[in-house]
Structure 1
């Protein structure tokens, strides 16, 4: 074990030390003993020696390990803060050391694919709901853990690290998970709400990333607040229909994980998804943008998955469909905007 302390004291575990994982670890450390998991030994050494993770400051009381067995044995409660691209691999790595008594809350706003061996998104092309997994569904499928929840909302890491006021929602089918999340994270500057619709909350956090990319593109084109208001309102309608088709509650789209996070990420240069759209509108290629980013913009993978899902339904999602063409079929952003302006929306709100 590469850790500063090997005591058997129960602590709170955080898996992943990216920007969001670091922010959550620091917030948890205000009231709890915390240990974090990092895959790379050099990052573990940096945390234990310098109290920082890849340059991001960590509370001096936080310890680190690179052994899944160690953190699982020492922690009954684990926060998984892993990008969706590596989420399945990490969960499978932890699976042998997880038991039904573990309580897991994840903060990943992404989707995973549930495909047969050898299949890829390119070979399948059309996805049904059973082939799309939220992160809580990944945990339930790959481990024996039962008490699973998610954390979602307008939670930009930079602002959380600065201690600015914010709020989040803990969603789970189990009230115990919600109460534990609230107990551990709630503070004078961080409000924590509860929601029993975990799928709806996860989907809201995922789908808003698509609209955030589009919002960045509008800003990159130099368009005004009227256009942004149009995009956000039509984007919310699109989120409602997609969430409903994927098994989420409409109500969750109107909560912190939905419209709360949507408004935040559609207006923030600190949002990775917004940044992707902005740079696209400024003429950079997707490959150039991805190469310049330290962390994943989850909305790109989400566009791919939702586009494949749309192929199996009669549902239309014009923002998602046109953004797919911009990202992967060389459609000019200006052309996509013209199409959306001419799209025959005839009803303002059609889901209530």
Structure 2
């Protein structure tokens, strides 16, 4: 009897623990209508944030919040012309969705969360919506270029003929894996294979790491994309997060570990310029450290969302926790 009571109490305490970080996240960043606010960027919203929060909600079995998030996203950001989503929403602009382009990381996260929701709550409409998005992604953003199957960062503006600009942090390997397992379409396995090949060849400067944005030329050569600073920074930090989430033993994590091991945990630079080898004058904190810990296999458990965490830092903490939970399963 005591054992049963102890087990019941453990399960109950675990449930409360799981709710803690998510409740903090919701209270800080999720509006009552389901819009996720980027507190570090003027309280605009992105499909990235909507997808992040939808993934958190389904993973923590919060269907009420999930439905609010999905309804706002689908109603406000859906581009009916191509089936994808306007990537940025500014509530105080004359046209809140002035840029009609999408961002494939947001599209992927939304579709992945919907697929999880269909499986978890046995609601086919979620799965249908997920399939519609993934078909649109394949149609409008996946191309064969320089012998690789690649997913562009958006439907427009990234294929420059002689080169394509890629954002390797948009290679969301666990989502691609989920779509491959669900649909059995070859395109997802090709993206998994070629995405890893590409990341394995992205490494510059003393850090030997990919930059936030990478140019892939028609001859297959790569270099940091000229339109952005040549930094391994706040975008690229998601690369090891998604690599480990999909394959906890991925050899592609080795360069990240090697670079970060040059520094103590508390003194690890937040970014590095791979051309000048200059490092940031401030260290990693918050969500960046959560990704670092995950990469090294440090099980930190439920995160604490503190006042110093902006939307992005809190999101990285939450995503690292979700990845950790999936790896332990």
TM-score (normalised: structure 1): 0.30
User: Structure 2 length normalisation: TM-score?
Assistant: 0.32
Of Structure 1 and Structure 2, the greater strand share is in 1
